[in-house]
Amino acid sequence: MIAQNMIDESPVAEVEVEMASFRTGNPAQEDTVPAEEIVASLTEKKQPAEKKSARRQDRRGYSKSVVNFWLDMILAAVFVALCSVAAVLQFAFPAASLAAGWTLWGMTYEDVAAVQFGVLCVLAAGIILHVMLHWTWVCGMLTRGKPEASLRTDDGIRTIVGVGVLIALLHVIGGVLLAAMLSIHQP
């Protein structure tokens, strides 16, 4: 009886399509489709939509929006910390060549500079994570209006491009560091 009520609530065209899909080829049996089979097939069609919404959350139930919000808040806090440490180095300490023996909160100029570099590394890692979480959007913006539509949908190509961009950025940083090391002069 419950199955019959569910069929009555469904659109007639959908039920007719489902009945046609269950036909056995025997004309005598074409009109005798068990209602349970129709109900089961209708509920199977609704499951992918439920799975799609479930995919947006991880195992603990956090949505992508919540993860992005907290990552952005952490990045903002780390940015403020980096600006604060940089301001302390620039304005509280004398020039690095004159700062020998000076301390602030028990830290020398070199200690504060090491803290600044550590905070900078944390900020860089957070930015890389932020871009990784938004990589689909980045690729979509880069390929907008271009005929290569396959770049918009293929996750494998997006991953390869992302790794390539990361490798290129690391090579740029390494090249600048190498040029600085080769160009520096002792007094």
d(CA 107, CA 83): 18
Half-sphere exposure of 180 (CA within 13 A, CB side): 6
Per-residue pLDDT tens over the stretch 48-80: 454 544 455 556 667 888 888 999 999 999 999
Per-residue pLDDT tens over the stretch 20-31: 444 445 555 555
Per-residue pLDDT tens over the stretch 103-129: 889 999 999 999 999 999 999 999 999
d(CA 96, CA 87): 14
Q: Could you tell me which residues are beta bridge partners of residue 104? A: 107
Task: Say what the pLDDT of residue 15 is.
Answer: 45
Q: Which of 64, 162, 131 is nearest to 151 (CA)?
A: 162
Q: Which of 77, 53, 76, 83 is nearest to 65 (CA)?
A: 53
Task: Say what the pLDDT of residue 10 is.
Answer: 47
Highest mean pLDDT among 25-39, 85-99, 106-120: 106-120
